Structure 1
């Protein structure tokens, strides 16, 4: 049984989020991706507390494609050390999960 993941990152603006989303889907590393925002972010950076506006990018993929998707996000991201996190989906409709698998298959 395949592992299904929600992978997320944040970007400084909508355009860079859309570029990441589009390139990952075009490369079949993700079946789909959504860009939402802006969101207010509060964080520690370079030893100081910060605050800023970011855009969330959420990808749906499989465990088999995660390493390639992570590498793609890091390589294409405008920041040098971007957040890339993944959460395993415990459940989902069978047809949707099959679509995610088919859409990210390297055989397609």
Structure 2
């Protein structure tokens, strides 16, 4: 079975998050996605401290598909330097993980 990842990014609006989720899932770069938000973020940007509301996007994929998913998110993201982070799934329900793998290879 493949190695699995949760990939996260964030956007300024719900509509941007939905567009990224739909394009990544339709391209079978991610088996599914959830949008959480708004969430409050604190960050440094351009040498200045800021806070704001964002929408977090969580995508389910495999290590094999990650490079294409990362490139897709960066290309279609409205920000110049977006967060794109893949976190390894250490364990999970085998039927769910099999669904991710099957969805990305169908």
TM-score by length of 1: 0.96
- Counterpart of 1:54 in 2: which secondary structure? strand
Aligned length: 106
Aligned twin of 1:18: 18
Counterpart position of 1:67: 67
Q: Where does the alignment leave 5 or more consecutive residues of structure 2 unmatched?
A: none
RMSD, aligned α-carbons? 0.6
Give TM-score scaled by structure 2 length: 0.98
CA distance in 1, matches of 2:35, 2:13: 10
The DSSP-based 3-state class of the residue aligned with 2:91 is coil
State the shift of 1:13 in Å: 0.4
Mapping of residues 30-49 of structure 1, within 5 Å? 30-49=30-49
Shift of 1:2: 1.1
CA distance in 2, matches of 1:88, 1:95: 17
Give me the whole-angstrom Cα distance separating, in 2, the residues matched to 1:18 and 1:8. 13
CA distance in 2, matches of 1:41, 1:49: 11
Aligned partner of 2:7 in structure 1 is 7
Q: Separation in 1 of the partners of 2:84 and 2:6?
A: 10
Q: Which runs of 5+ in 1 are unaligned?
A: none
